[in-house]
Structure 1
Amino acid sequence: MAGNAGVSKPRTAAPAASWFGALEPDHAGDSGDDGGNDAAHSRYDRGEWRASDVADSRFLSRQARRIAESGQSGLYRLYRAFVAARAALGITLLATEIAFAWLITSHPQHGAALVLCAVYALATLALWLLPNLLGPSRPTVAARLRRRQWAATIGVDLLAFGGLQLLGGLLNYTALLVLPALMAGVLTPRLQALGVAAASTLIVLLATQWNAGVAGATPLLLAQAGLAGAGLFVITLLAGELSGRLAREERTARGSLAMARRQAQLNRLVLEELQEGVLVVDRRGRVRAANPAARGLIGEPQDSSGESFALAGVAAWEPLARAVDRAFAEGGWPEEGRDVLLPRDQGPRQLRVRVRFTQRREARVAEDYCVLFVEDVRTVQARVRQEKLAAMGRVSAGIAHEIRNPLAAIMQANALMAEDASSAEQQQLTRMVGENAERLKRIVDDMMEVAPGLVPTPAPLDATAQVAAVCSEWARTVQLPPGAASPLTVELPAQAVGVLFDGEHLRRVLVNLLDNALRHGSRSAGAVRVWLGVADDLHARLGVASDGPPIAPEVERYLFEPFFSTRSRGTGLGLYICRELCERYGASIEYGSRGVPERHRNEFSVAMRRALLPDSESRPHLGP
């Protein structure tokens, strides 16, 4: 484009406003050609809109995408349309004058009119064919036409059409003045547009007076010229109002495009991060969209290059395709969903499928698309189980808190009765009460240990010294024989190992693991092995292994779940408490089997975060 719709950045907002403006930031130095015409400003909000922001949206129409990717404002497109119209008009004028030259050769002013039309045709063609003639090829901020652009279009039109009017001749050129008036009404501020209409009216009046000769123009000719001028004013005002409405509509449309793009990005992000599978399926059973979770649940299609794929024709997806056909046929689906069994190579997978339609059933309109929400039944069951366990844990913690005070009173009263017990039967009864009260106290302590509360702040702890002290205390408590005959073997590093953990909680974890190891071990010399070592620069590892029989697979999966125990008198909270305490300090606990040939085949290991100790000197090896 020769003139380019780029115009300078407005510096002052005034009532006389231009109705078009570009939506991209201004380039430095564009205001140098504007002179003092700073009153006009764009009616567009000058936002950070770019065509690339919406080019990747899949929810835009082809026409909207084309306009958005072009980055062209309404002023730019209308300016190019006017430039093309001027070029066509220039060629038409020149062709008309040439045609009259063959028919009428004796008119004294025809030669000057022919030259003027030829010059005008060349100027308009150059402006249309040479887009880089007056500046960059892409528009910048378009609050109004620049001075040189106004001169190259509206100014040239006024001079050319005014000259043709003054030259007179057999043709009436008054109608040509509609073009500069219309262009000024659309592309310039209101005051400038009215000025162009006034100049066009003066040209018509002067040409009428000039062409009437010495006798002067008749009142009829002057009235016709006045009516023509009034028509030019009306055209200018109407063009301005229509262009203002177009500017507002374009601003709204571009804002809607940007909003649609942001909403599409947000929806895509949510769907990609969603753990539940989501598929959009049409009536023919073709998947139009699927998030990564859905593709993982049903299996990746063989041709995954495209976004859509068909459910029909794949044997593994036939149950899902039948479920979609059934949903479209019924027009509804249960709220809780239905289970669909998909055959797979590694075993069938049972999915919970919920179907939702885009319109309400009351509308009684045939649905073209449905949305499938797919979940693995095992995931659903695990979530339900976790919710039940969480509710049970809250209730149990509340009950344990209420039991603690009465239990303390029972234990105190039993101690007083034990002091006064004289007979063997009374002493046996008080001993039974004391033992069971202690058992209840341990259960209450376990429940309160895992009850929700403040998250402790981990501090550096010398794991070497702590593990040695706990093992020694535990061995004395359970009355293990000392020396080589002891079932407990402790292997500790010579240097201190710093970890992030609470000393009392680490003691609780280690005692629980030692109790389990001794309970299920053979109690022979070295049956229980405890070791501590450095795994890497970030983690230290504590292990407790025993020589007991291997844990069955059906038991292993429930090892760390609360209230699961293989003993009739067990609470099933020991390993659960160990896991909860480890998670509080960013540690992890896991079980591993070394196999039957190994003596210490059952091993529980705790990975703890390492930390620097204030005193990093080596400490002596402490055994039980």
Structure 2
Amino acid sequence: MVARLHALTAESRETFWRSLQTLNGTRVVIAVVLLVYLSFDARGLRVSGQFIYAEVCLVYLLLAAVFALLTVYARRRFLLQLLAQIACDLAIISLLYLAAGGVRSGLAILYLFPLAGMAILAPLLLALFSASLVALFMLGESAWQIVTDGDTTMLLAGLSGAAFLAVVVVVNRMAAKLIGQEELAVRRGVEIGVQQAVNRLVMSHMSDGIVVLGVDGQVLAGNPAAQQMLGLVGQDLNFRLASAPALEPLAQAFDEWHADATQHTAFVTIKPYMDPALQGVTAAWSARRDLAAHLKARFAAVDTSGLGVERSVIFLQDVTGIENQAQELKLASMGRLTASIAHEVRNPLSAIGHATSLLSEDLATPVQQRLLRIVGDNVARVNRMVEDILQLSRKVQPHSEPLALDGFLAELVAEFEETHALAPEVVRLGGAARVMVRFDALHLREVVLNLLNNAVRYASGAAGSIRLFVVHDRVRRVELHVQDDGPGISSEVRSHLFEPFYTTSSKGTGLGLYLARELCLNNEAMLDYEYRFDSDAQPDGSRKSSGRFVITFARAAAKPGPQPSI
């Protein structure tokens, strides 16, 4: 056992002083009990006419009070104070022991109090020395009784001394073990505190967001980067993900990961401006109210086996800047492509268009005229696409006049079904009544046709397998959803979906979705691929989340008509 306090930690030294205070409190109680006992035995025990029982108890009580004050106001030289107090205890108890008549008085039990304190607070050698002195004193007193009175109490005194030595050894070993455990706990506490400080520093300076969740999606903690990405700066983080409308995509991804732990990564789009509770939280979000945060979310379960709790961590990475950077890196090649299109494509298109006009003068049958009209229409469409690409490179301002979506979409769907020879009701249109938006009609035509061409490629072809419907978000912005019943886009493809020249089809150019998004941005709108809950409930009452392309227009209609829920 460590004898000197300076070899221990501050917490262990404080424990030793508290134990000494407890010892002093116990000493006061013993002195009071002895005085109470005296009140029932008024004989005034004496030895040789010198030591009076009551006076000894009063002196003991006074010394106990002095020792108690010293341990509170003079915390210096711990071992010296302890030895002085134990020596006083042994002297007083020995006087009372002699005054009461020796071992037969039963006062020998009082020796356990100072000896146990010595065994707890002092080294084993000092504790054994004190117990040996007590045993020798008791044996000497018994020997004197044999000589003077012939009283045979030697055996009882020897057994008591042996018991005292055994108690000292056991108590000292137990105290040493407890002190060692406390030292270990203190060191572990310091290590944990340092580790927590390092973790807080790392989390506060990480550019990636970290969100700690409970088993039910309860947000428990998040670093500043996560709060910035999710628009939660200055907000209380004690809430459930599903309770925040703006964080619904992240809550859906978390639930899907819980259902299938193999899906560790998901790409979500967060729109903090959609949640009225988050309006005006930070200048960063108020400056980009028309934009959304495209986040890569990676889920991981914390190993808390045996602790009775479950924790999950979401690592968030804002891929918006990465996507923009990737697109900027490819804009140089896009510039070369547009120059090539201007010189190599427009001239052949002009020749094809001129030849079509000449043929129309010589071919008069309805079938021939219809074929020539199809050729002419597609030449005009390709020429318009070339113009759009050139506009993207020159950032030409589009003619975004007010456009009625109901008539525009109905005409577009009818033309699309006829062109692709689709069965009736394959493309289902809804929710577009009396909705006005500001978007260049030709640009919107190219965007929607591009999305419908993608949908018809993967849809089943059944009635309603392709859905085209208009809804309003929580801030009354108009959204056009294009959805099919085919397989959703994987997270790997989603991360590159709107990059130029990226395609998963051997026949594609990888420009369709990129041009569609750029056309939307030119019209102050936004195109994105999102996962949302379907409005139709499943047989078990739940709703299935599915992917869809969402066009968010710059302005919402003043008086929206009936619409399906998001």
TM-score under structure 1 length normalisation: 0.46
TM-score under structure 2 length normalisation: 0.50
